[in-house]
Amino acid sequence: MEDKERTLWGEFKKGFITTNPLLVLMVGLCSSLAISTRVENCIFMGLAVIFVLTCSNVIISLIRNFIPDQVRIPIYIVVIASFVTIVDLTLKTMPAVYERLGVWIPLIVVNCIILARAEGYASSAKVSHAFMDGLGIGLGYTTVVLIMGVFRELFGTGKIVFSDTTVIDLHIKAVPVILIMFPGAFITYAMLSALLQWYQSRKKPEAGEGS
Burial 142-151 (b: 16+ CB within 10 A, else e): bbbbbbbbbb
Q: Among candidates 94, 119, 77, 81, which has minimal Cα distance to 43?
A: 94
Task: Please identify, using beta-carbon distances, which residue of 8 and 119 lies nearer to another protein.
Answer: 119
Amino acid occupying residue 51: F
For residue 85, count other CB atoms closer than 10 A to its CB. 14
Identify the residue among 65, 70, 163, 165 touching another protein (CB under 8 A): 70
Q: Among candidates 166, 190, 188, which has minimal Cα distance to 179?
A: 188
CB 117 within 8 A of CB 53: yes
Identify the residue among 48, 50, 79, 148 touching another protein (CB under 8 A): 79
CB of 123 to another protein, least distance (A): 14
To which H or E segment does residue 191 belong?
helix 182-202
CB of 93 to another protein, least distance (A): 4
CB of 70 to another protein, least distance (A): 6
Draw the binding track, 80-119, toward another protein (x: CB under 8 A; -: no contact): -xx--xx--xx-xx-x-------x----------------
CB of 94 to another protein, least distance (A): 8
Residue 93: phi and psi, rounded to 5, are -80, -5
The answer to whether 74 contacts another protein (rule: CB under 8 A) is yes
Identify the residue among 8, 34, 43, 67 touching another protein (CB under 8 A): 67
The residue ranges that bind another protein (CB under 8 A) are 63, 66-68, 70-71, 74-75, 78-79, 81-82, 85-86, 89-90, 92-93, 95, 103
